[in-house]
Amino acid sequence: GAPTLDVPGAVPWRKAGIVYKKNEVYLDAIERVSALVGSDGELISGRVNGSIQMKVYLSGMPECKIGLNEKFMMEAESGYQNAASSAMEGRPTNVAQKACRSQVALDYIKFHQAVKLQNYESDHQVHFVPPDGEFELLSYTVSDSRNFTLPFTVTSWYKSLGRTRGELNVKIKADFPSSLVAFQVITWIPLPKSTVKVSMQATGGKTKSKYVDLANNQTHWKLSELRGGKEHKFKAIIEMMAGTELGGTSSGEVWEKKVPPLKLTFQVPMFTSTGLRIRFLKVHERSNYQPVKWVRYLTCAGDDYEVRVKH
């Protein structure tokens, strides 16, 4: 028979005749935040890698439309409008659009092949006939720190309590609305190689002795939940072996000169660092069914979310 692509409106990524008893669309906007934060809590450098992940269980040949909030829009002047569709995939955006401060300057955005790019330019909406099942609709990167906010303010400092003892303090505050709650907020705390004992205390969360991992020179502090606006403090008293390095300085004194950074891992549902919001998600199909639609947001730590320790 004739190739199916000759059928008007046929798309290579979706076959005709798909049927579901229950029509459903799931949209997950996920942002991974990487950061290097100074000991004073100020951001030194960072970036957000975001994506919109979809699970689509829809009958027939649906057309979907998604509206992103204006804050997140790329200007029409970004040099996109003259480019051929294929060249546009993943093109870095230019300076014209970065000049508009109320908007998030995207370093990079990449669309699934199903997205009709000319619509995105004309009405700032993402139009597409979705593939069936799971796929990534788009992904983007933002590295200008004026265009994203960190979910937490974390400060940390270390002080020596003599040749073989030291004290490491951490303070963490949730900088999002009190209607939101972060989960699994874990601070990974470095320890000197010569550590023999650690005693920990905190105003919230867990500081179990089994968290102390001398083999990997670290311990951690775990807040299973942290509500927006709340602040907690942590203190570890670190005891070290009295052995000295060559030249007569104790290993604690050597470590004190160059304390490694803390690492943070976390998940904050219903929050986006860039302020991305899905204004609407519309589905139109000839048979006019009304699908069930779910939209979720999640911000979590990227590969490296580090906080320097003042010493």
Tens of pLDDT along 224-252? 999 999 999 999 999 999 876 555 666 77
- According to the model, what pLDDT value does residue 259 have? 93
Residue 166 pLDDT exceeds 90: yes
Percent of the chain with pLDDT over 70: 84
Band (94; pLDDT cuts 50, 70, 90): very low
284 vs 82: which has the higher pLDDT? 284
Per-residue HEC secondary structure of the chain comes to CCCHHHCCCCECCECCCCCCCCCEEEEEEEEEEEEEECCCCCEEEEEEEEEEEEEEECCCCCEEEEEECHHHCCCCCCCCCCCCHHHHCCCECCHHHHCCCCCCCCCEEEECCCECHHHHHHHCEEEECCCCEEEEEEEEEECCHHHCCCCEEEEEEEEECCCCEEEEEEEEEECCCCCCEEEEEEEEEECCCCEEEEEEEECCCECCHHHCEHHHCEEEEEEEEEECCCEEEEEEEEEECCCECCCCCEHHHHHHHCCCCEEEEEEEECCCCCCCCEEEEEEECCCCCCCEEEEEEEEEEEEEEEECCEC
- According to the model, what pLDDT value does residue 154 have? 97
pLDDT digits (tens, 9 = 90+) for 44-58: 999 999 999 999 999
- According to the model, what pLDDT value does residue 21 have? 97
Rounded to an integer, the average pLDDT of 163-172 is: 95
Rounded to an integer, the average pLDDT of 142-157 is: 94
Residue 124 pLDDT exceeds 90: no
Residue 207 pLDDT exceeds 70: yes
pLDDT digits (tens, 9 = 90+) for 4-17: 444 556 689 999 99
- According to the model, what pLDDT value does residue 70 have? 74
pLDDT digits (tens, 9 = 90+) for 288-302: 999 999 999 999 999
pTM across the whole model? 0.86
Band (172; pLDDT cuts 50, 70, 90): very high
Share the mean pLDDT of the chain: 86
Residue 105 pLDDT exceeds 60: yes
Rounded to an integer, the average pLDDT of 92-121 is: 68
- According to the model, what pLDDT value does residue 255 have? 83
